[in-house]
Amino acid sequence: MKRFIEGEDRHQVTLLPECLDDYIGEDNPVRVVDVFVDELNLGALGFDGAAPAKTGRPAYHPSVLLKIYIYGYLNRIQSSRRLERETQCNLELIWLVRRLAPDFKTIADFRKDNGPAIRRVCREFVVLCRSLNLFSEAIVAIDGSKFKAVNNRDKNFTDRKLAARMQQLEESVGRYLAELDHADRQPSAVSEGRVARLKEKIVNLKAQM
């Protein structure tokens, strides 16, 4: 991606581990977040900065910051300062954003500039993962709302049920972003599947996207 700050090649050989991809097992669900965001057309979704500026200092691509927010939403990380720390020490996030570490102000400004788009993407991510049975009940338990991984009634949607579910997810993401904003103003204040199965589901996710 020209004119953006570039992440490290995950297959670049280093001492410990041999390459960045070795940090994360092939059965780690964080790979789903990576595939999902990479398949999005962020410009069409209304994210600022999807097209690089011709002059000035290169910026982070919005996909980097969006991956941070989706990961933070799933794991209830509730401040931009903590998200910044997690990009420096959390192996899953180090892998996810290719060892980039945006500062907390950059992370917070991205939320302020793209709040509605972030809410829509997080909502669609949860709905899509549920429809493909990508996450277990243990993972998709957000803001006190539990979404069962296997439930025949959930496989049959009426317009009313779908609208209610989407509204529920929209409110959940909204609460998360509000908590982040509150924590930023007052800074004091993963189940795994089998490798083959996860790879198959990632293929299905790409097809669904």
Q: Identify whether 1 is part of a domain.
A: no
State the Cα–Cα distance between residues 97 and 115, nearest whole angstrom: 20
User: How many structural domains comprise the chain?
Assistant: 1
Residue 48 counted as domain residue:
yes
126 touches 140 (CB < 8 A): yes
Position 160 in a domain: yes
Residue 60 lies in a domain: yes
Using one digit for the tens of pLDDT, what is the confidence trace for 174-204? 788 888 888 888 766 534 445 677 777 777 7
pLDDT at 136: 56
Kindly compute the dihedral angle of the four CA atoms of residues 139, 71, 95, 86, in this order, to the nearest 10 degrees: -110
Range of the domain at 32: 20-208
3 state SS for 146-199? ECCCCCHHHHCCCHHHHHHHHHHHHHHHHHHHHHHHHHHHCCCCCCCCCHHHHH
Q: Which residues are paired to 146 by β-bridges?
A: 141
Q: How far apart are CA 140 and CA 124, in angstroms?
A: 13
7 part of a folded domain: no
Distance CA 133, CA 61 (A): 29
pLDDT of the residue at 176 = 80
168 in a domain, yes or no?
yes
pTM greater than 0.75 (yes/no): no
pLDDT of residue 144: 46
Question: Is 44 part of any domain?
Answer: yes
In a domain, 6, yes or no: no
Q: What per-residue confidence (pLDDT) applies to 187?
A: 65
Q: What is the pLDDT of residue 190?
A: 36
15: tokens are 């001492």
pLDDT at 208 (0 to 100): 72
Give me the pLDDT at residue 3, please.
84
pLDDT string in tens for the chain (209-residue length)? 678 988 888 888 766 667 888 889 888 889 999 999 999 999 999 998 888 888 888 899 999 999 999 999 989 888 999 999 999 999 999 999 999 999 999 999 999 999 999 999 998 898 888 888 876 544 444 444 444 445 555 555 667 777 777 788 778 787 888 888 888 887 665 344 456 777 777 777 777 76
Question: What pLDDT, on the 0 to 100 scale, is given for residue 71?
Answer: 94
